[in-house]
Chain A
């Protein structure tokens, strides 16, 4: 099989897999949030409500598609895809497993291992911001414009602490490529801890996690979103599948951010002290590494849901104050301390 065919299969697999995880996330969100609130969540559509996402999808597809009269039609239609497609594409650089050997050919489980690695993800989140801006402006309603503006301001101001946390990662590992970062996280650190980024960079992990919550518009930073629960915000005027694309894009964003957190700070597809490739054959190793990665990713996705239903949301000025006045100085301190430590040990 030619190389491009293998890449095509990987692309299709990742598309389907990410969509599947996003769909399952809607179910997990509703059930887990209900369990935390002393109720049961959807349990009528299929056993334990497992067919509920299907019902939601059918509902969104069959609702009437309304474009407001005074909205700018082309931009209105352009908003949701501009938000959803970059977040789908960002999964291309995520290593979801180590090598797998099929038919004598060794295939790395990553769609493309470019040298720029996670910078690609940052760039794509910058484009996804445009989807929100355009969606808000094209709705041509005062509240949508203001909501879109606030959402955009929040997103771009939290790109800076995220960039600072990622900068310290580059300082530690010397490469942008996510696969190489995961490869460098094998073994142990200080003798007994796994060599994960979390133990080498606890402050950096914290900053990255908070910035990831803000980038994904999740509580406690979901003021742009909850505003639309209060009938303001950039996706007020959207209905049926366009709204579905916005909401879906948010879940896919979550999946991508969880995957990147796992790759950078939690050792990607490797088990902590065990080197699986010694015990398993090549095909089984590939599948096992994929499963380990998915389990870690599932933990972080559950953490997103868990924090959402535990913590109250921030007010807008508290949110921006946290981003600019707390996280950026912390990120800079982290950068200096890490640079000092790296210099002292090399």
Chain B
């Protein structure tokens, strides 16, 4: 009985349900933070400490901070998100996407029987040096393309910011 996994899995699922059901914006963002931390703990359990740190420092530490910025700038603490939640077209889109995601999950979980058996991990699995090795030898094209993507985002941000000035 893997208590570590159970604890963080329940935390992740519970926080996820909290995120999508609560009526205020900032508690919802905090629920998302809890989901990220639980996921990071699960990555640690899977012997991938670097991915766990990426999850926390990039996802929770940068992206979620920007989301929280937007919430803080635009929404006062007294407002609630009722108007957005009552909109029919949003609900319809949400339902369609939800069904799609569940279908994906079911298809993706088909090969889970092979994952349950415990395998022995190769030497240096999950260490940063190994991931750096993979980045710069096997997956270097992917690395460069993602850096070009980031460059595009940077240029777009600067252009948008400069346009008003």
Contacts and interface: CB of A to CB of B under 8 A. Distances in A.
A238 interface: no
A201 interface: no
A125 B71 CA distance: 21
B50 to A, nearest CB: 6
A116 B37 CA distance: 16
Contact of B57 (A71, A75, A119, A134): A119
A136 B33 CA distance: 17
B84 to A, nearest CB: 19
A145 B72 contact: yes
A127 B61 contact: yes
A140 B65 contact: no
Given A130-B33, A137-B26, A115 B77 contact: no
B68 interface: yes
A149 B73 contact: yes
B77 A129 contact: no
A317 to B, nearest CB: 14
A125 B60 CA distance: 11
B62 interface: yes
Interface residues of B, number: 28
Given A116-B53, A116-B128, A126-B61, A149 B27 contact: no
A126 B69 contact: no
B123 interface: no
Contact of B27 (A75, A115, A119): A75
A116 B49 contact: yes
Given A120-B53, A133-B65, A152-B65, A140 B77 contact: yes
Contacts, number: 85
A312 to B, nearest CB: 28
A156 B78 contact: no
Nearest to B40: A123
B127 interface: yes
Contact of B61 (A78, A123, A137): A123
Contact of A137 (B33, B37, B77, B129): B77
Contact of A115 (B30, B62, B73, B128): B128
B27 A116 contact: no
B81 to A, nearest CB: 14
A126 B56 contact: yes
A35 B53 CA distance: 43
A115 B78 contact: no
Interface string B35-58: 001000000000001100100110
Interface string A109-136: 0000011100110111111011001101
Contacts of B27: 74-75
Given A120-B53, A126-B60, A137-B77, A75 B26 contact: yes
A119 B16 CA distance: 26
A176 interface: yes
A122 B65 contact: no
A182 interface: no
A126 B57 contact: yes
A138 B26 CA distance: 9
Contacts of B71: 137
A133 B70 CA distance: 12
Contacts of A127: 33, 37, 56, 60-61
Interface of B: 24, 26-27, 30, 33, 37, 49-50, 53, 56-57, 60-62, 64-65, 68-69, 71-73, 76-78, 126-129
17 contacts: A72-B26, A74-B27, A114-B49, A115-B126, A116-B50, A116-B53, A119-B50, A119-B53, A123-B53, A123-B60, A126-B60, A126-B61, A127-B33, A127-B37, A127-B61, A153-B69, A159-B61
